[in-house]
Amino acid sequence: MNSPARKYFTEAVLPCHARMYAAALAITGSPDDASDAVQTAMLRVWETVSKGMVLESPVSYCLSAVRNICFTEILRNKRLVPIDGITEEASESNRTEKAVELTEVTDALGRLSETERRAVEMSAYSGCSADQIAQALGTNAVNARQILSRGRKRLRSFFNKG
């Protein structure tokens, strides 16, 4: 095993574990999901460090890694609106109306480009900033705001045709 990489990882990266967990827990709201995200992030950071890369700012790098993993998992698993969290007592017709609305919104989101859809979902469901969206999309904040604006405009156009 590469001992300089192991020493660097132990001294620079492992102390970030608690902050990574706190960030992941804040994003996911689930201790199990937060633990999984931190474990995945630590593995990815280890892979980077074991290749000989020295991180300029280990804390920032680790927090960014865990944040990106959390957002990716949230989007991948479509856990954007937890069904368990809906406590409103609704009549059967009200539930039917909400199901129809949800279906319409889901269909409308599906008609957006992949980039626009991701930007709108990250903003609406996860409360991500333009900078966070930009990082997830691999672009700059100005472009992320344009993509988000274009996506919202297209969504409005889908519902204003009625």
Q: Find tokens 């856990």 and name the residue.
A: 79
pLDDT at 46: 92
Is pTM beyond 0.85 here?
Answer: no
pLDDT at 79: 46
pLDDT at 78: 57
DSSP for 43-85 reads HHHHHHHHTTPPPSSHHHHHHHHHHHHHHHHHHHHT-SS-GGG
Confidence of residue 109 (pLDDT cuts 50, 70, 90): confident
Q: What is the pLDDT of residues 45-75, one digit of tens each?
A: 999 888 888 888 899 889 989 998 888 887 7
